[in-house]
Chain A
């Protein structure tokens, strides 16, 4: 083995702690609120930063790694030296992330995800680009790359729409506006809000005022989300070679994921509202402590499950019916969305007398509650589980507005059965399936005797 150092960007990890420490003198200066205290706080901050930079450099100098065929060894520590060896057999997935900052400096962030849940569950290394590629080849080698999924045309559009995440994109947008405010020393945030207000005023010519603002905001957020997804999924490609599933893509941030196919514990097909409209279903994989990441590994057309089998031959759709809806309790499924719908309708009823101009805006929660009721109704007829002949377990459950159809491929799962007096009298129970990555699936109203008889493979 040949020992090498981490990339110098590794020191930034420790400098962050120094930056947090810098807040303490600044808080003291804020309490006293005079120039002398400010000067003292700035001096102390400079000393803290210098000390943490020196400590980070010493740690960087003391940390090294080496690799050979099938194993990586990392040595670290100044006073107490410790050495860890990660073999190919212990690794389920490997992720190489290269954000713009890392690409400019020629660095890569490599994260190793392990098979078992023992500590550490994952380990991050900051390496040079060439070293990262060599480590990936040593641990999860790829022989020939035959693309299994490479979206183009409408498939690409569907992939962008299905991998878009409104929540993370909105948070990213807020963070971006704040950073732009600080860096450019301008009123970027205020200008953005002003533009949004002007757009809402324009839309308000055709629609009621409150509803126009909501629509404009929704349009802006969705547009930004799709833009982020477009950049994030540029050049996306999934291959399978030598028992390793490789996915690559990204325009600004390059992401490469290598998953050991034998370690895949579950294959989750998410039937979200967008997926229903496009009739294309995204598939996420979980392997060892790897939970599936932010991008689906594949998007397939409705009824073409063989596309998933090309990537994962062990995948199988449910052999038989997943549940017996006649034995389920409709109240268990419908009370929450029903109560929400009743509440929204009551608010609408009051508003129709008191503030009729707010009615269009109040129609939004009514619509959401109605959609939630429909999804719960679908859950009543579809939620359940089934043990397949191919030694896999099919699980179907609904969460928020999405139906998840999961094929559990590993016998390394635990079950929790929860009951209450009503379900006991009806011979039902709630089942939770725990995966090695810590994810759990909850299936409501399954038959008690079936849940009890799930066999564990000896």
Chain B
């Protein structure tokens, strides 16, 4: 089984650091508007040009005994967790994510927490059911 992160889900998650940058830049608008605007645009470019493609490259594979999460294009990171030691799942949804049908999935296993941001809600629910209740949906 393989789950991927849609572009809209990655874009919504990338909008969070972009929004945070906009809020943090508020005190600087008064003194140096041109510099603040250029810095903000650069930050937005980083968020939507680098972070969003990185997040949308995330692939979750469920094998026979382990779960593999691969993320990143230029600097790929692969994480493998034994399925029988997954202790819990957590699904988070912001209002914008509810509109786009995406969510953030956190998987807990002993020693490490794995986060898959921007996953489809239906995929996340199916995966959570598979990992915690043997595939039975509540």
Contacts and interface: CB of A to CB of B under 8 A. Distances in A.
Interface stretch (B37-45, B89-97, B108-116): B108-116
A413 B65 CA distance: 13
A456 B66 contact: yes
Nearest to A458: B65
Contact of A456 (B65, B88, B108, B111): B65
Interface string B104-138: 00001111101000000000000000000000000
A455 B108 CA distance: 20
A414 B79 contact: yes
Interface string A403-441: 000000001111111111100100000000011111110
Given A118-B87, A458-B65, A418 B111 contact: no
B30 to A, nearest CB: 29
A411 B111 contact: no
A419 B75 contact: yes
A50 B111 CA distance: 42
Query: Secondary structure of the A side of the interface?
Result: loop
Nearest to B109: A414
A454 B64 CA distance: 14
A140 to B, nearest CB: 20
B85 interface: yes
B112 A418 contact: no
Nearest to A454: B80
Contact of A117 (B64, B80, B81, B111): B111
Given A434-B112, A435-B111, A415 B75 contact: no
Contacts of B76: 418-419, 424
B64 A458 contact: yes
A415 B110 contact: no
A440 B79 CA distance: 13
A116 interface: yes
B100 interface: no
A84 B109 CA distance: 22
A114 to B, nearest CB: 10
Across chains A and B, which 7 residue pairs bring their CB atoms closest together, nearest first?
Answer: A436-B110, A117-B110, A417-B78, A434-B112, A434-B111, A456-B82, A414-B112
Interface of A: 116-118, 411-421, 424, 434-440, 452, 454-458
